Structure 1
Amino acid sequence: MTARSVGRTRGAVLTGAVWALVVTGTGVLTGCSENPDAGTNGVGKLPAATIQSKTRAAAASAGAVRLAGNVVTNGRTYTLDMRLKSGGATGSVTSKGEAFGLLRIGERLYLKADAGFWNHADGHADTSAAGKLDGKYVKVPQGDPSYRKFSGFTDKDVLLGGLLTLHGSLATDGHHEQAGTRTIRITGDKGSGGTLDVSLEGEPYPLRLQRAGGAGTLTFSAWDKDFALTEPQKDETVDYGRQLPAS
């Protein structure tokens, strides 16, 4: 082989390697004709409506999930970081700079916040009353208007059932990645009706949701990973009976 032919061969190899690197965006040289669905759960090859149906079913059957991000409803933004399962939930919610913790075990719902939250919620600066609630788990009575409002953040089926819906005509929008996991993205009305990234690895769980109309972005993780729910100690709990002072 002449020096010129060797040079041409090396140049061709280098060009092929650079092409593979550009196409894949990684240091793994897998070639330009790589099948993006190879080694996946196969949902990336399905119609968008079928993918949405499968991811909703997977989410419903999972024992637990962690949900984090922002939800905009009625003009108000809520920042959530919740772990949810059928028997209850635990986590935090922040809105308008006020943060509070939520804990639900079965039907028992507790709200935990500092004195500033209770002063703001009650609409006056009764520091003595707020001080008694500061850092305590306040049991929310089931008959109180706040129970339904706050428990909605702790109900896995209700929360996911309302969130995992795209609006308008469904379509797929290519292969993506979320937190190191390969995904297929589906959209409603080319994205104006929301987008949903669905895992291509293992169960087709939803991993990232961008809600329609700029109504928030959420990520989902720790699917089917159980977690403990611990009843607060008696000296950590305040039971106001029929109605919260903030109602």
Structure 2
Amino acid sequence: MNTVTRAGLAALTLSAALLAGCGLPDDPNTPHPNPSVSSDPAGNGIDILSAKGVIDKARIALKSAKSFHVKGTIKEDKDLVELDLKNAGDDFTGSLKSSGAKIELLSVGGHKYIRPDAKFWNQIDPTGATATAIKQVVGNKWVKVKDKDDSFGTLFTALDVDTLLSSEGTVTKGETKTIDGMPALAVLDGTDTASTLWVAMRGEPYPVKLTGPGGQGLTFDDFDQTFPEIKEPAASEFVDQSKLGKK
């Protein structure tokens, strides 16, 4: 069904733009000191690294984490996109919300599921006929995406760490402050986006906060926690994508 295809593409565009806005630029001229030496004996050593070095350490730490949670708000065009995702290795679950419409995501055991709310279906079909038909079939169930369907691919890479913590231009180190009880170091974006990445200075150098203009920002927490909600839905809890009429 073309309507469902357009819904997927709209979500893909939203996700890609959201992630692109989270990237941090690179500092090509700042040297990288020996990361094994720190001016704080109780710290993890990032304070003596270059700005790029801090981002690299944060990226490695986040990719090595068994699990983590990222939540926040990002501006996409004139809309604010609310993101709330939990990751555990290759699996994740969570939601994206924009313009009052919400779509839940679940990727587990190599299978992918989406669960849009009624407002989402109504937005892609203003006349209501197709949306009503879809809602009657789906109800509050998940929609299981075909394994070989790549149209939802970008949507399910919303937690790609390399994209979340990318660097492309000039960055500098900023102040240190306590965030949620953890001393953190700021890495400042020198471009017009004026974003700041805060990285933990003790324990693993996890990113703990990413802030941007206009109140935008993401928080990272629940590292190495267990998320019981990341599980395969029962057969009675999902509908195959093919039953929506998508060819």
Task: Give yes or no for TM over 0.5.
Answer: yes
Is residue 164 of structure 2 the alignment partner of residue 152 of structure 1?
Answer: no
Shift in Å, 1:226: 3.4
Q: Distance in 1 between matches of 2:181 and 2:111?
A: 37
Q: Which residue of 1 aligns with 2:140?
A: 135
Secondary structure at 1:54 match in 2: helix
Indicate the larger mover: 170-179 or 187-196. Answer: 187-196
Residues 122-143 of structure 1 deviation map (CA, whole Å, 9 limit, x = unaligned)? 4431224323212111112245
Larger Rg over CA atoms: 1
Unaligned runs of 5+ in 2: 1-38
Q: Which residue of 2 aligns with 1:79?
A: 82
Q: Which residue of 2 aligns with 1:70?
A: 73
Q: Which residue of 1 aligns with 2:220?
A: 220
Secondary structure at 1:39 match in 2: coil
Shift in Å, 1:149: 3.7
- 1:109-124 equivalences under 5 Å are 109-124=112-127
Secondary structure at 2:152 match in 1: helix
TM-score (norm. length: structure 1): 0.72
Unaligned runs of 5+ in 1: 1-35
Query: Do the aligned partners of residues 133 and 98 (structure 1) sit closer, same or farther apart at CA in structure 2, a change above 3 Å counting?
Result: same
Secondary structure at 1:162 match in 2: helix
Indicate the larger mover: 187-196 or 107-116. Answer: 187-196
Query: Do the aligned partners of residues 207 and 104 (structure 1) sit closer, same or farther apart at CA in structure 2, a change above 3 Å counting?
Result: same
Q: Which residue of 2 aligns with 1:197?
A: 198
Query: Do the aligned partners of residues 106 and 147 (structure 1) sit closer, same or farther apart at CA in structure 2, a change above 3 Å counting?
Result: farther
Q: Distance in 1 between matches of 2:215 and 2:166?
A: 13
Q: Which residue of 2 aligns with 1:188?
A: 189
Identity in percent: 29
Which structure has more relative contact order (CA 8 Å, sep 6+)? It is: 2
TM-score (norm. length: structure 2): 0.72
Contact map agreement 1:48 1:172 (CA 8 A) in 2: yes
The Cα RMSD (Å) is 2.8
Q: Distance in 2 between matches of 1:190 and 1:93?
A: 27
Q: Which residue of 2 aligns with 1:43?
A: 46
Shift in Å, 1:230: 1.5
Q: Distance in 1 between matches of 2:57 and 2:146?
A: 37
